[in-house]
């Protein structure tokens, strides 16, 4: 595995992600922001944040697999959520949990969550991009 995830002492331990990743592979993988599209470009879960988060994570997983990588190789995630407010956290975590169950992984690399005014089309509520390291 080219990425080690760490929670250094002196920083809070967050269930949803680790504070630091150390990448030691030889090839960087940059996954474009994934939205809640299925393989045909149809939006999944219109109006349902948890369903869209799940689909975004599944799409990131598909993109990674396409280059021989997995969530174990992810060094950093960036999550963009339309009109973010802290009361949406349970829906975000539900979507992550559902995707993790389907993928058979615990996706906990360092992550940044950003609230945004809008994404590419009005029906998209979340977009997730990833940076990975593979040997």
Phi-psi region of 104 (alpha: psi -120 to 50; beta: other; left: phi over 0): left
Q: What is the pLDDT of residues 16-53, one digit of tens each?
A: 788 888 888 789 999 999 999 999 999 999 999 999 99
Q: Where is pLDDT greater, at 6 or 126?
A: 126
Q: How far is CA 77 from CA 29, 50, 71, 74, 90, in A?
A: 12, 17, 10, 7, 18
d(CA 116, CA 9): 31
71-88 confidence digits (pLDDT tens): 999 999 999 999 999 999
- Does 97 have pLDDT greater than 70? yes
């Amino acid at each position: 595995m080219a990425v080690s995830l760490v929670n250094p002492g002196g920083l809070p331990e967050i269930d949803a992600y680790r504070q630091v990743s150390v990448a030691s592979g030889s090839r960087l993988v940059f996954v474009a922001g994934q939205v809640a599209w299925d393989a045909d470009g149809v939006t999944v879960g219109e109006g349902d944040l948890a369903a869209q988060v799940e689909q975004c994570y599944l799409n990131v997983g598909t993109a990674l697999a396409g280059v021989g990588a997995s969530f174990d190789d992810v060094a950093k995630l960036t999550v963009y959520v339309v009109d973010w407010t802290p009361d949406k956290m349970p829906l975000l975590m539900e979507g992550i949990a559902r995707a993790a169950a389907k993928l058979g992984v615990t996706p906990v690399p360092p992550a940044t969550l950003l609230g945004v005014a809008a994404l590419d089309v009005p029906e998209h509520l979340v977009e997730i991009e990833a940076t990975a390291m593979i040997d």
